[in-house]
Amino acid sequence: MKPLAVISLLSLGSLASCEKNKKSAPAMVEATATPLPSDDRAAVAAAKVRPGLERDLSAVGLHSGDPVFIRAFKQENEFELFVRNRATGKFDLFRTYPIAAASGILGPKLAEGDMQVPEGFYFVPPDAMKPDSQFHLAFNIGYPNEYDRAHDRNGTFIMVHGNRVSIGCLAMTDEKIDEIYTLCDAAHHGGQPFFRVHIFPFRMTDERMEKSAGSGNEEFWLNLKEGYDLFEKTHVPPEVSVVGGRYRFQ
């Protein structure tokens, strides 16, 4: 299977490994001024991007502070941010961002240090937000989740963060994480107890799944596709639980 390093998506390993290796690739690291205290950094980012976000949200009938939902696709190198529409109760696609840096291959993350990207269904409560990240702003997606633990998968500090360099984390650039972090933080403050992050190996169409027939990940991916299809049908993120070592959706 083709390595993902060339398609630049989330080999979400550990933020600690990113930080340890930050000095090893200075040419890839964005220049930043003296770091601000975490609260000030998030506030400055929000003040900078909020006017444009609110203008663009209003243009499509959406509102800052309303619930958000995130999907990421490894092969397509895309990160989607949805906002719930007050009129319909469904989640509308607001922005699609390219991923700036990553590594790994298609397939789930199995162990600490494997440089693999998690695939599955995760959620981010307020205490997982990290405004004091060495990579500008960040949040922890919550790997390993209940499914991962049931399959003895392990790892720590699986982050979405700023900058353009990643040794195992999802780097979005400082410019884009300012928008992403601001909308997610506003959703928390607006009352959303957590936002969901769904990570897929690729867009799980029937045609694409046919190409994966016989893969060692086929059964796992078919289970992921159930959740993918449910959102595609309803435009509401499904409730996800784990029963008998499989994801179950409502």
Amino acid at residue number 123: F
Catalytic residue among 169, 184, 188, 198: 169
User: What 3-state DSSP class applies to 152?
Assistant: coil
Q: Alpha-carbon distance 64 to 62, whole Å?
A: 7
The verdict on whether 169 is a catalytic residue reads: yes
Among 175, 72, 190, smallest CA distance to 126 is for: 190
Q: Alpha helices, DSSP H only, in the chain?
A: 15-20, 38-59, 146-150, 174-189, 206-211, 218-234
Residues 6+ apart with CB under 8 A from 48: 178
Token pair in block for residue 93: 């696609």
CB-based burial of residue 56 (10 Å sphere; 0-12 exposed, 13-18 middle, 19+ buried)?
middle
Residue 133 in contact with residue 162, Cβ under 8 Å? yes
Catalytic residue among 136, 161, 188, 198: 161
The distance from CA 47 to its chain's CA centroid, rounded to whole angstroms, is 23
First to last CA, the chain: 32
The verdict on whether 184 is a catalytic residue reads: no
Q: Alpha-carbon distance 184 to 208, whole Å?
A: 31
Catalytic positions: 161, 169
